[in-house]
């Protein structure tokens, strides 16, 4: 079974595409949102619940798994799918983002990045070749190149140097990959260049020459204004091949997903639905619910009357608020189930809208404020 991507339909009124990723662990309809399973587990979400929600792909973090339990141990135990007992698709990031997030703990050279474990302070080193090798050990279906995630704001010279480094690393990843590629799995490149259109263009061109199986847009959702993010996405997408899947990393809110899909993005990941759930921030068809708010103390309604998740079918806002304030484990379980249901249901609705050539109407409603769903989310 070869890795592949097909565009099945293009929305008439927008740049959105309906597609499917073919992976060794099943097909994934796109546009898709990938729940984040940092350490080989989506926080507070059982595999059974993910399957019931028809999640076809999750993201796992190379950095975390490398440190604990270790990629060599996971390989010995049959790879990540076997280790975590998940037989659907897995995308792993390169670990770069986590390493770069701990600024005081790392130093970057041409060769790669030296860093200290956030767990025990031990020293490690990631090179482009090594992160490809680690992800191969894990058995990821989709492998990401090591990149230098340019922080925001970055001056032009810094952004250029950072992008150029990422491009040299991407080439090294591609070469490492060539030695092990049997066509069943995918290596994705990552466009960098901060908020500078010409740098993004040069980055996309450099990656285009390397013929990756998919293309990601990195270095966004790192603190820049929302309008600027959309500008970059809008100007970068046309630089990417029509035939390949396009992945906007680390984005975003429900409204971000609708808008980015309309610009031609196919794949997303973000900790927002899961992390927000645990922090008491719940997404509903009627807007956000901050569950700790006293107004919910005696509210017997379901969290979202339009949601069919087990949480909404059974529990009241009053009970969820009580579980949250009491620090009960179940709060995380029920709230995560709801927020992920909201996200994955929304992606289903997005795919339906593309199929009907009506995503543009959805966008129009959003702009007029006539559609409550992602408005204030």
User: Rule CB under 8 A: which residues touch its own copies?
Assistant: 39-41, 43-48, 64, 68-69, 73, 76-78, 83-85, 297-298, 300, 310, 314-316, 318-319, 322-323, 325-326, 328-330, 332-334
Cα–Cα dist 39/5, whole Å: 27
Given the residues 11, 266, 269, 345, the one annotated as active site: 269
93 catalytic? Reply is yes
Nearest approach in angstroms of CB 331 to its own copies is 8
Nearest approach in angstroms of CB 374 to its own copies is 27
Q: Is the Cβ of residue 107 or residue 326 nearer to its own copies in the bound state?
A: 326
120 catalytic? Reply is no
Q: Is the Cβ of residue 300 or residue 308 nearer to its own copies in the bound state?
A: 300
Nearest in space to 257 (alpha carbons), one of 245, 243, 272, 242:
272
Q: Is the Cβ of residue 39 or residue 210 nearer to its own copies in the bound state?
A: 39
Cα–Cα dist 61/93, whole Å: 6
Cα–Cα dist 108/100, whole Å: 9
Given the residues 93, 141, 256, 266, the one annotated as active site: 93
Nearest approach in angstroms of CB 78 to its own copies is 8
Cα–Cα dist 81/326, whole Å: 35
The full DSSP string for 75-127 is HHTTHHHHHHT--SEEEE--SHHHHHHSGGGEEE-SS-EEEE-TTT--EEEE-
- For residue 248, the cross-strand partners are 217, 268
Q: Which two tokens stand for residue 214?
A: 């998919």
- For residue 126, the cross-strand partners are 113
Nearest approach in angstroms of CB 277 to its own copies is 11
Q: Is the Cβ of residue 310 or residue 349 nearer to its own copies in the bound state?
A: 310
Give the residue numbers annotated as catalytic, written as ranges.
Answer: 93, 269
């Amino acid at each position: 079974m070869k890795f592949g991507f097909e565009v099945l339909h293009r929305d008439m009124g927008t740049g959105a595409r309906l597609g499917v990723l073919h992976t060794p662990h099943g097909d994934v309809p796109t546009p898709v949102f990938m729940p984040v399973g940092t350490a080989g587990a989506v926080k507070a979400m059982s595999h059974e619940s993910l399957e019931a929600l028809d999640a076809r792909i999750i993201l796992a973090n190379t950095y975390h798994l490398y440190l604990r339990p270790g990629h060599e141990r996971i390989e010995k135990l049959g790879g990540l799918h076997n280790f975590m007992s998940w037989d659907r698709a897995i995308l792993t990031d390169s670990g770069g983002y986590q390493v770069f997030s701990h600024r005081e703990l790392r130093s970057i050279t041409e060769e790669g990045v030296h860093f200290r474990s956030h767990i025990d302070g031990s020293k490690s080193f990631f090179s482009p070749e090594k992160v490809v090798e680690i992800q191969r050990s894990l058995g990821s279906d989709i492998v990401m190149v090591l990149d230098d995630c340019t922080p925001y704001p970055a001056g032009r010279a810094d952004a250029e140097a950072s992008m150029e480094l990422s491009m040299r690393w991407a080439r090294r990843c591609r070469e490492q990959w060539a030695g092990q590629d049997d066509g069943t799995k995918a290596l994705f490149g990552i466009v960098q260049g901060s908020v500078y259109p010409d740098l993004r263009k040069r980055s996309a061109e450099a990656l285009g020459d390397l013929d990756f199986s998919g293309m990601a847009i990195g270095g966004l959702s790192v603190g820049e204004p929302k309008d600027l993010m959309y500008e970059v996405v809008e100007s970068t997408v046309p630089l990417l091949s029509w035939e390949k899947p396009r992945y906007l990393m680390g984005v975003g809110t429900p409204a971000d997903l609708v808008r980015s899909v309309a610009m031609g993005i196919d794949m997303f990941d973000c900790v927002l639905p899961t992390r927000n759930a645990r922090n008491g921030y719940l997404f509903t068809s009627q807007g956000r619910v901050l569950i700790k708010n006293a107004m919910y103390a005696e509210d017997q309604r379901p969290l979202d009357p339009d949601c069919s998740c087990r949480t909404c079918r059974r529990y009241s806002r009053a009970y969820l608020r009580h579980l949250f304030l009491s620090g009960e484990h179940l709060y995380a379980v029920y709230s995560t189930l709801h927020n992920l249901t909201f996200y994955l249901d929304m992606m289903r609705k997005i795919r339906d809208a593309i199929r009907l050539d009506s995503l543009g109407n959805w966008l129009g409603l959003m702009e007029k404020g006539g559609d409550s769903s992602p408005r204030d989310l």
